[in-house]
Structure 1
Amino acid sequence: MADDRFPGVSYVIPVLNEAGYIEHAVRTVLAQDYPGERELILALGPSTDGTDEIVERLAERDPRVRWVRNPQTDIPAGLNLAIRASRHPIVVRVDAHSELEPDYTRKAVAVLQRTGAANVGGLMKAQGRTPFQAAVARAYNSRIGLGGGQYHGGTDAGPAESAYLGVFRREVLFEAGLYDESVRRGEDWELNLRIRSAGHLVWFDPDLEVTYWPRDSWEKLVRQFSATGAWRGELVRRYKGRNPLRFFVPPLLVLAIVLSLVLAVLQLTGVVHGWPSWLLSAVYLGPLAYLALLLWVSFVSERGATARDRWLYLLVLPSMHLAWGAGFIVGVLKGARDVVDTSRTG
């Protein structure tokens, strides 16, 4: 007889060019200490690095693993394909770059049942395998790095704006219309906004932890954050007045830096001089304060174990902030419907 405490669970993972990570992600799903029925559905984009062969091999070894094709490559489309192919009342989103703690599912389902929430999530605990990736992970785990979201460092359980990945009641996903496939980045926030607008509860619990492996090169990091920022700008266009103020800090920083550079040129060439020059020089205060913050964080408050760690952190933080901020400005001005996260394709 089925135990109502442990309803069946379907894990869904969108996958594209993840040969270096997908097997670890799948193994942590299959190793969950959850006694209820389980299945894993992977949505395979057109990978070129051998990812499909790895997934097919894993599916042959374990009947709980299934896969569907995702010719569109986009994450929301892949998630919807996998969710539609799922069979159980609980849907757990997993990222190909993530690894679940063994008790993640059991704890999350218990939280769903205790709170009556439609979706629950916990902490993203970023980690790195290389010095650069470790520096990115430190930035992910820092309030200075990504800041604001509960899943980057929250300590108190309670209602949340959004959730990292998410453990959902399947019927609520269909009630909300699943993921919006026109939103290529920020799809979690957008879906959770619709879930909350329908009167359902989204819940954060810091006891739920997921390991996340961030991008492992500077180029991929910049491309990822540029695309994410552009899509946040698109969401600001779509949902006016519904976006937290923290999203506007990076673009304001980018604008302050651009204005500072323009003013510096005008001052050096004598176009701007005298008291107007002194007055306009106030624009330098923002970038100077930001530089001071970067130096303090990188070499004092969050200093790494070695000099290389500190200098990498000093590179990573502004790369994330400025790429995101510049992308945001583009997204607000032009929209982001044609913006793709190319960090996943090469």
Structure 2
Amino acid sequence: MGPLSIAACVSLAVWLWLTFGQGMFWRTDVRLPPRTPPARWPSVAVVVPARDEAGVLPLSLPSLLAQDYPGEAEVFLVDDGSTDGTGALALALAREHPGLPLTVCSPGEPEAGWTGKLWAVRHGIGLARAAAAGEPEYLLLTDADIAHEPDSLRELVAAAVSADLDLVSLMARLRVVTVWERLVVPAFVYFFAQLYPFRWINRPAGRTAAAAGGCVLLRTEAAVRAGVPESIRQAVIDDVSLARAVRRSGGRIWLGLAERVDSVRPYSGLGDLWRMVSRSAYAQLRHQPLLLVGTVAGLALVYLAPPVTCCAGLLTGRPVAAWAGAAAWLLMAGTYLPMLRYYRQSAVLAPLLPLTALLYLLMTVDSAVQHYRGRGAAWKGRTYARPSDA
């Protein structure tokens, strides 16, 4: 058996293992766990870090202010050095859309050793805990581009209380409108779930830990016990680091797909999506060159080898390569279909996953290149040259 057939068979074996042995990562039925309304609704502080978010705030902030929550709740928007009038716009929106109380503050530039977002989160949590209403029992950490249905907070809290969870996180449904969004965005969530299978995360005694930073409900007591955000202050991939810190401190965590929580941030072109992925891709690999080489080789074997060996086998008359490559390609496309359905996209995109994987491979390489050029994780005018992830 030649190298082409060997590559096809190895890729097929990997896909068989991924399909049946990687926590059923491809299934999209992990939603909020069964829940009942608590006898007493705990108090909640909603913390929203925002840096230059005037473009999306009119679509997101009113949804937070309009939360139909039976208990005490307050919104703290932390303007992280914005230059586009984010803070003033937030106050204006609160006047136009009265609802939950809103406090807008700005902590200034982050201290050394802090990423901007976690510096803003720290300030927001501090304000919430010092508020006149007293320390909140839960913290909802949500990004400025996330829109919530009116019952979102109520359902999150009910799930946390019913299952006695310290952290409940929902992977917000990202916007999928443009051609590039259709090609790249569903795959982003698919790859994330492959790295961090939700079923493994949600095991009470599991070792896998991750969260989705756009929507995290965190018990305040658990945050104090885990020392967050101070203990993860340099983390670029802050959501995964947060979940790990909570789990290490003995907390119970849960992650699933959202039904009524959506990101309104547009990614109009490939460049915007490229920056979103590349800013943290090499940090995910802990800035290790060997991990980068292994990741590139793995992506090539798992995602590129199936179509290449299938087509090459057909053209050169190697039936083993052709059929093994086709079977691996079919498994790949089949496991991608549930995510495409979740995002209400055409099944035609499923066979194109190798193309999307090639884009992610190039984004990962570019992330490493930018790191070694000293540009690190650049986002909204700030660069973190050598971030660390807790």
In the superposition, the TM-score normalised over structure 2's length comes to: 0.63
Matched, 1:211 2:270: no
1:341 aligned partner? 378
Deviates more, 1:171-180 or 1:209-218: 209-218
Determine which of 48, 54, 75 is the counterpart of 2:117: 75
In structure 2, distance between residues paired with 1:196 and 1:144:
22
Within 5 Å, which residues of 2 pair with 1:215-254? 215-234=267-286, 251-254=293-296
In structure 2, distance between residues paired with 1:54 and 1:316:
37
1:209, CA displacement in angstroms?
A: 4.9
Q: Percent identity?
A: 20
1:202 aligned partner? 253
In structure 2, distance between residues paired with 1:125 and 1:108:
16
Deviates more, 1:82-91 or 1:322-331: 322-331
In structure 2, distance between residues paired with 1:185 and 1:161:
16
Query: Partner letter of residue 319 of structure 1?
Result: L
Listed as ranges, the gaps of 5+ residues in structure 1 are 238-247, 258-283
Matched, 1:128 2:176: yes
1:172, CA displacement in angstroms?
A: 1.8
Listed as ranges, the gaps of 5+ residues in structure 2 are 1-37, 111-115, 130-135, 309-324, 383-390
1:178 aligned partner? 228
SS at match of 2:234: coil
Deviates more, 1:55-64 or 1:43-52: 55-64
1:161, CA displacement in angstroms?
A: 1.4
1:69, CA displacement in angstroms?
A: 0.8
Q: Do the aligned residues in 2 keep the contact of 1:120 with 1:167 (CA within 8 Å)?
A: yes
2:358 aligned partner? 318
Q: Do the aligned residues in 1 keep the contact of 2:78 with 2:105 (CA within 8 Å)?
A: yes
In structure 1, distance between residues paired with 2:351 and 2:163:
44
Q: Do the aligned residues in 1 keep the contact of 2:60 with 2:264 (CA within 8 Å)?
A: no
Change (3 A) 1:85 1:124: same
1:15, CA displacement in angstroms?
A: 0.8
Aligned residues: 300
In structure 2, distance between residues paired with 1:109 and 1:16:
27
1:119, CA displacement in angstroms?
A: 0.8
Within 5 Å, which residues of 2 pair with 1:156-171? 158-159=203-204, 161-164=209-212, 165-171=215-221
Q: Do the aligned residues in 1 keep the contact of 2:228 with 2:245 (CA within 8 Å)?
A: no
Deviates more, 1:91-100 or 1:71-80: 71-80
Within 5 Å, which residues of 2 pair with 1:5-24? 5-24=40-59
SS at match of 1:163: coil
2:164 aligned partner? 116
2:137 aligned partner? 89
1:340, CA displacement in angstroms?
A: 3.2
Change (3 A) 1:20 1:255: same
1:53, CA displacement in angstroms?
A: 3.0
1:212, CA displacement in angstroms?
A: 2.3
SS at match of 2:195: coil
SS at match of 1:341: strand
Q: Do the aligned residues in 2 keep the contact of 1:132 with 1:312 (CA within 8 Å)?
A: no
Work out which structure has the larger RCO, using CA pairs closer than 8 Å and 6 or more positions apart in sequence: 2
In structure 1, distance between residues paired with 2:56 and 2:159:
28
Describe the superposition over 1:82-118 as per-residue Cα deviations: whole angstroms up to 9, x where unpaired: 1111142110011122222332211221222122221
Describe the superposition over 1:38-84 as per-residue Cα deviations: whole angstroms up to 9, x where unpaired: 11111112223342331131244547111121433611111111111
SS at match of 2:71: coil
In structure 1, distance between residues paired with 2:367 and 2:63:
34
Q: Do the aligned residues in 2 keep the contact of 1:179 with 1:191 (CA within 8 Å)?
A: yes
In structure 2, distance between residues paired with 1:289 and 1:188:
32
In structure 1, distance between residues paired with 2:277 and 2:255:
24
Aligned residues: CA RMSD? 4.1
Query: Partner letter of residue 180 of structure 2?
Result: F
1:36, CA displacement in angstroms?
A: 0.9
1:281 aligned partner? none
Change (3 A) 1:118 1:342: same
Change (3 A) 1:146 1:120: closer
1:325, CA displacement in angstroms?
A: 5.1
In the superposition, the TM-score normalised over structure 1's length comes to: 0.70
Q: Do the aligned residues in 1 keep the contact of 2:225 with 2:249 (CA within 8 Å)?
A: no
1:313, CA displacement in angstroms?
A: 7.2
Query: Partner letter of residue 122 of structure 1?
Result: L
In structure 2, distance between residues paired with 1:122 and 1:287:
27
Query: Partner letter of residue 66 of structure 2?
Result: A
1:102 aligned partner? 150
1:11, CA displacement in angstroms?
A: 0.7
